[in-house]
């Protein structure tokens, strides 16, 4: 799955940046206010955001990266954490001379975006938190049972294929999978007091049949002082056209992207 853009119309840049001991791959599209996209677990830029980047780039300077061990970014030979991912994104923005940005995180990327608002609040103009997890009770108990026995064989084939398309190395794929799985097995609640001090305006998005419980999104909405909430029909990532949902044939992005842009623009 690729992101098809006319580079003569929308400026495009890709490259690597040295960030906290890793070589981080990033892509930049378009002009205007910076909007940072943080992908989900096991993903690349394109598997999470490939459907909507062509829609967002008409209105924003889109900056997307691949986190530690994901896709084209290197590994630092230590366990992944959402706190470290947040610091890595902040480091990339510093290297790109971006002082403030809107942050859009999906799934694990949403949790990373929450950590950015906690750890680097001066960087964050607004937050879009799609299926973000803050506490273990935000998902069904069966999720944690599954993660305890997670294996590469159970990883969605679309994500495996997309990783190997940009990095044809099955050993690196295993490293990425195992780091993500271990992080989730050891996931600890973000303290309520840390969430409640987030002042950045936030748009919280969740599907009504999401991995994340709608009740969890409502709880986050009530904890954050400047939050708005949208519950969209559909499963995890369906509303942004995440790659594992494309076979469903639904197309909610013409509904959801204008909602996101309306929130960012007001």
Q: Which percentage of the chain shows pLDDT scores above 90?
A: 92
Quick: pLDDT tens for 203-212: 999 999 999 9
* Predicted pLDDT at 249: 73
Residue 4 resides in a domain: no
Quote the DSSP letter at residue 186. T
Quote the DSSP letter at residue 244. G
Which pLDDT band, with edges at 50, 70 and 90, does 2 fall under? very low
Residue 2 resides in a domain: no
Which pLDDT band, with edges at 50, 70 and 90, does 5 fall under? low
Give me the sheet containing 101-106, strands edge to edge.
12-19, 22-29, 61-65, 34-38, 101-106, 124-130, 202-207, 227-232
Q: What are phi and psi of 90, to 5 degrees?
A: -60, -40
* Predicted pLDDT at 247: 80
What's the alpha-carbon Rg for the chain, to the nearest Å? 17
Look up the CATH number of the domain holding residue 45: 3.40.50.1820
Residue 97 resides in a domain: yes
For the segment 159-164, the average pLDDT, to the nearest whole number, is 98
Residue 3 resides in a domain: no
3-state helix, strand, coil in the chain (%, to 5): 45, 20, 40
* Predicted pLDDT at 251: 84
Quick: pLDDT tens for 178-195: 999 999 999 999 999 999
Instruction: Say whether 152 sits in a helix, a strand or coil.
Output: helix
Quick: pLDDT tens for 202-252: 999 999 999 999 999 999 999 999 999 999 999 999 999 999 998 877 788
Residue 216 resides in a domain: yes
What is the count of structural domains for the chain? 1
Quick: pLDDT tens for 13-71: 999 999 999 999 999 999 999 999 999 999 999 999 999 999 999 999 999 999 999 99
Give the whole-angstrom CA distance, residue 124 versus residue 161. Answer: 33
CA angle centred on 94, ends 90 and 97, rounded to 5°: 140
Q: What is the pTM of this model?
A: 0.96
Check pLDDT > 60 for residue 136.
yes
* Predicted pLDDT at 148: 93
Residue 53 resides in a domain: yes
Quote the DSSP letter at residue 140. -
Residue 148 resides in a domain: yes
For the segment 147-174, the average pLDDT, to the nearest whole number, is 96
Instruction: Say whether 220 sits in a helix, a strand or coil.
Output: helix
Domain membership of residue 148 as a residue range: 12-265
Residues 34 and 59: beta-carbon distance below 8 Å: no
Average pLDDT, the chain: 95
For the segment 142-167, the average pLDDT, to the nearest whole number, is 96
Residue 48 resides in a domain: yes
* Predicted pLDDT at 1: 45
* Predicted pLDDT at 6: 57
């Amino acid at each position: 799955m690729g992101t098809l853009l006319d580079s003569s119309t929308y400026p495009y840049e890709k490259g690597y940046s040295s960030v906290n001991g890793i070589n981080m791959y990033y892509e930049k599209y378009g002009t205007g206010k910076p909007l940072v996209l943080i992908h989900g677990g096991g993903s690349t830029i394109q598997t999470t955001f490939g459907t909507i980047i062509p829609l967002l780039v008409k209105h924003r300077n889109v900056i997307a990266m691949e986190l530690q061990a994901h896709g084209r970014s290197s590994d630092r030979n230590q366990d992944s954490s959402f706190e470290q991912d947040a610091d890595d994104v902040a480091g990339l923005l510093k290297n790109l001379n971006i002082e403030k940005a809107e942050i859009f995180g999906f799934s694990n990327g949403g949790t990373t975006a929450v950590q950015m608002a906690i750890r680097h609040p001066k960087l964050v103009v607004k937050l879009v938190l799609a299926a973000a997890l803050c506490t273990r009770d935000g998902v069904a108990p069966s999720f944690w049972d599954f993660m305890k026995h997670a294996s590469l064989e159970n990883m969605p084939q679309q994500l495996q294929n997309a990783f190997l398309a940009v990095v044809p190395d099955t050993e690196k794929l295993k490293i990425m999978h195992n780091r993500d799985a271990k992080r989730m097995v050891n996931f600890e609640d973000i303290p309520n007091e840390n969430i409640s001090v987030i002042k950045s305006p936030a748009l919280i998005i969740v599907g009504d049949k999401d991995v994340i419980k709608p009740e969890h999104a409502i709880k986050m909405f009530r904890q954050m002082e400047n939050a708005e909430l949208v519950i969209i029909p559909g499963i995890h990532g369906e509303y942004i056209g995440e790659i594992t949902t494309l076979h469903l044939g639904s197309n909610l992005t013409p509904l959801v992207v204008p909602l996101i842009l309306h929130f960012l623009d007001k």
